[in-house]
């Protein structure tokens, strides 16, 4: 299924995805691919085998090019 969001931004896209989701597991992959799609099975396996109820990946554990993220974004990610 291909869906086009009515609004703009990640928040709008995520809300649309939650609304349309039909399964028990929902994954969000950022378009900047700081986390590789090949990593998703690790998250899926942890959820599907009930090792966790919620998993929040963190882009800060992966190597990142210098200046790949603005300072305030980096600070927000570290705080979150």
Cα angle 75, 76, 79; round to 5: 85
Confidence at residue 51, expressed as pLDDT on a 0 to 100 scale: 93
Confidence at residue 41, expressed as pLDDT on a 0 to 100 scale: 94
Alpha-carbon gap, residue 69 to 21, rounded angstroms: 30
Runs of H (alpha helix) within the chain: 9-20, 40-48, 71-79
- Summarize pLDDT for 20-77 with one digit per residue, the tens: 998 888 888 887 777 788 989 999 999 999 998 888 877 777 677 777 778 888 788 7
Residues 12 and 5 sit within 8 Å (Cβ to Cβ): yes
Confidence at residue 75, expressed as pLDDT on a 0 to 100 scale: 84
Residue boundaries of the structural domains of the chain: 25-79
Residues 41 and 63 sit within 8 Å (Cβ to Cβ): no
Confidence at residue 79, expressed as pLDDT on a 0 to 100 scale: 81
């Amino acid at each position: 299924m291909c869906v086009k969001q009515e609004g703009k931004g990640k928040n709008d896209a995520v809300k649309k995805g939650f609304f349309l989701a039909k399964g028990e597991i929902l994954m969000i992959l950022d378009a900047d691919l700081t986390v590789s799609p090949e990593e998703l099975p690790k998250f899926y396996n942890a959820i599907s085998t009930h090792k966790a109820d919620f998993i929040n990946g963190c882009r800060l554990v992966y190597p990142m090019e210098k200046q790949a993220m603005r300072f305030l974004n980096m600070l927000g990610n570290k705080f979150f």
